[in-house]
Structure 1
């Protein structure tokens, strides 16, 4: 009999479930900042074109205190072909991701999610995904891809949160909560990052967290099971 997989992306029945209350008894150990480029907006059926994960341990973020980027030791970036070619012009303009950039790639598949899972599994736990658009886009697109591949995510400990919600609470008077504007204002950057590649998004998220005191504590209190 084939050995049963013990990974983050599997059917919930294979694992004992943990509740949010159970996990609240521990501080989050690792924050995985998520940048994602999709081929379309929702409610269309976007595929993942690019995903970037940057894992930073709690102590490194707390020591950072707005002094720049930490020395991140765990990073994963992957690009994929869209399910339906070509890459939309809007996406190419915003991210500089071209059809030629993914010519030798394939649409995201089961093996790719295994790579992502293995990346997450090796991190100190509990692990929390941190995305800006979160439930508005990123997590929905990831779940749609998982459903397409007939894979599920268990409830045994992978957490997720929305950084946009935290920014709204800590900076309630911003004129715009578009990511580039938040990055420019909060991190006091003279110019915006115009290219919204997955890696640039991850960089902005990391700096925003380091520049807003109290964000880590907010995430400890405002997460969900993925």
Structure 2
């Protein structure tokens, strides 16, 4: 899951949250986790207090789910053992002067990968979500700082854990929860993951070549994107 955050302390700020990609000034665009392919360009203002809070985040700090996924305000960091803690800041990387800008999808992806690593913003079976936020100047669009976030390995009140399901794990009936693992003993579990098919190269999800791989799944499947419509692996599942 790739996200960009634009904001710079002491001046006009911009924040952009992206899965496919989005870029705007003095605003926040959020990606709903319901659809891994489609970017959401709805925006809302980023206040000066939020910009200050983001600037003050340090490695090891934790923040809630809300600011990342649904446009809630960025508050000061919270205790990692608190009920609302969802993400831990794994790294905070200075990219100012590196030449990346938030107006190009290629540059956004490249900046996130350089700062956080290739394992971020993609489906890694059995691993906690790794998401990136890219901070840029609203006037220049230059990406200056990248926040590398990792979800905490703990279930919520309904038993959903932000760990990408691996072979043998179970997923919930509601496809809005496609990225969470749930206990196979739970009433919410509707399918079990059988296996993953790694594609030799990315394939557009509308390309008929993808059928050669999805058709090998015995029951049902999910096509898992790298970014946008580019599929890099297929998850085969069996309904319970």
TM-score tier by shorter-chain length is: under 0.3
TM-score by length of 1: 0.27
Bigger relative contact order, structure 1 or 2 (CA pairs below 8 A, ≥6 apart): 1
Q: Kindly indicate which of the two structures has a greater share of residues assigned to strand.
A: 2
